[in-house]
Amino acid sequence: MLARLRFPLESSRGRSYPEPEHPYRNAFQRDRDRVIHSRAFRRLEAKTQVFAPGLSDHFRNRLTHTIEVAQIARTLAGVLELDEVLTEALALAHDIGHPPFAHAGEEELNRQMARFGERFEHNLHALRIVESFEQRYARFPGLNLTFEVREGMVKHSRDFGPGEQPEVERFLPGLRPPLEAQLIDLADEVAYNSADLDDAFSAGLATGDDVAACVPQYRAIHETIENQFPGATARERFHEVLRRLIDVLVSGLIEGTAGRAREAGVANAEEVRLFPGRLAAFTPEAAETSRALKSFLYRNVYSSAALGEDRNQSMALIGGLFQFFLDRPDCLPPQYREQALAEPAHRVVCDYIAGMTDGFLRRTYEQMIGPAAAR
């Protein structure tokens, strides 16, 4: 497959603070393990993915979503003969910078930061977590991950040119990340499209027929399953379709990436970096299915009244707490008060809130401001 494009571990740019090698784990294995052992990783369990817990115990949270992305990404890397461990480390780290309350949380933090001419972006926040906020080592701040894992974290969803972003200027602006990192965003897309459909089905926001009416590829599989299992329950049929749909998307991603690499004529990992575009891609048919699923989810799920209410409340809680800490920096925990001596208050407040789980944010809001409106 693409073994020639696999990122060669021996050409890694290494760690910011040199460390002796481990007797039996290579650098990317250690990075993966460091991510799993971090506090930010464990906190994913109490952060909303799309559906807030409460209505059901079966919805994804950001941790179970992350595990699904890692599983899909590992499969992709394995079939394509890329570095599975680097891919897995990146998949496990891909959402650790996510604030509480899913996208509503990210949007609200970004809106608050925009008042100060700045922004909040979860990939940059993830970099701050692994480079400084995690405190587990006596000899250095953060997790001291290899260059390629940190580069993949900041570039997994988009590229940037020289001078575009001062915070990440050290991560080879203008160059593509290794193919292992390019896979993450698309593995994420497969995982969340299928998982959100599943959770929407559980929440009663969508039926198999609803999806079939909007997504031709889904409809085709749906019809086959109806004929094959006429006596199955709606739930069983839905899962039969969903499983095949994931297969179609993952296969489209394998085929699309292999095809594009062939057309591009790239010979090694260095040429992947120099190639003007990304090589990880769906086939055109799988891309169309992915787009159709996304637009179905936007119309029927993400913008539904059920999620809209949660969203407004989440934004109000974050906005309220942000302003509270700006007005009362003396109420911040000691390490953030210390950070505020060196950095602007809005940045410190943003870092503090971004690290919170949904539950911790609610509790802090109640402690500092008072009872939030019931949800």
231's enclosing H/E stretch is none
**Min separation Cβ 2 and Mg ion, Å:** 24
Q: How far is the CB of 226 from Mg ion (least distance, A)?
A: 32
180 binds Mg ion (CB under 5 A): no
Q: Lay out the site mask for Mg ion across 270-309 (x = CB under 5 A, - = otherwise).
A: ----------------------------------------
DSSP class of residue 204? Answer: T
In angstroms, rounded to a whole number, what is the distance separating the alpha carbons of residues 100 and 353? 8
Q: State how far the Cα of 26 lies from the Cα of 43, in Å rounded to an integer.
A: 26
Stretch that binds Mg ion, among 185-193, 200-208, 324-332, 350-358 (CB under 5 A): 185-193
- Residue 188 as a binder of Mg ion (CB under 5 A): the answer is yes
Nearer to Mg ion, 196 or 240 (CB): 196
Query: Does residue 310 interact with Mg ion by CB under 5 A?
Result: no
Residue 243 CA to residue 251 CA, distance in Å, equals: 12
Residue nearest to Mg ion (CB): 188
What are the C-alpha distances in Å from 354 to residues 8, 16, 44, 151, 221? 34, 25, 12, 21, 41
Number of residues that bind Mg ion (CB under 5 A): 2
- Using CA of residue 159, residue 145, residue 282, residue 237, what is the dihedral sign? negative
Cβ atoms < 10 Å from Cβ of 265: 8
User: To the nearest whole angstrom, how small is the minimum distance from the Cβ of residue 65 to Mg ion?
Assistant: 6
Output 95 or 151, the one with its CB closest to Mg ion.
95
The set of residues, in sequence order, having a beta carbon less than 8 Å from that of 66 and lying 6+ positions away, is 41, 44, 91, 92, 94, 95
Q: What's the closest the beta carbon of residue 340 comes to Mg ion, in angstroms?
A: 30
Distance CA 264, CA 176 (A): 14
61 strand-pairing partners? 48
Our finding on whether 240 is near Mg ion (CB under 5 A) is no
- Cβ 336 to Mg ion shortest distance, Å: 27
Q: Is 68 in the site for Mg ion (CB under 5 A)?
A: no
Q: In terms of CB distance, is 121 or 240 closer to Mg ion?
A: 121
Closer CB to Mg ion, 95 or 180, in the complex: 95
Q: How far is the CB of 188 from Mg ion (least distance, A)?
A: 4
Binding residues among 93-112 for Mg ion as defined by CB under 5 A:
95
Terminal CA-CA length for the chain: 51
Residue pointed to by tokens 């010979």 = 267
Q: At what angle do helices 84-93 and 179-202 cross, to 10 degrees?
A: 50
Shortest Cβ distance from residue 259 to Mg ion (Å)?
25
Tell me the C-alpha distance between 178 and 189, whole Å: 19
- Does position 88 bind Mg ion by CB under 5 A? no
Nearer CB in complex with Mg ion: 93/225: 93
Q: Does residue 196 touch Mg ion according to CB under 5 A? A: no
Q: Which stretch binds Mg ion (CB under 5 A): 91-99, 231-239, 246-254, 304-312?
A: 91-99
Under the rule (CB under 5 A), what is the footprint of Mg ion? Answer: 95, 188
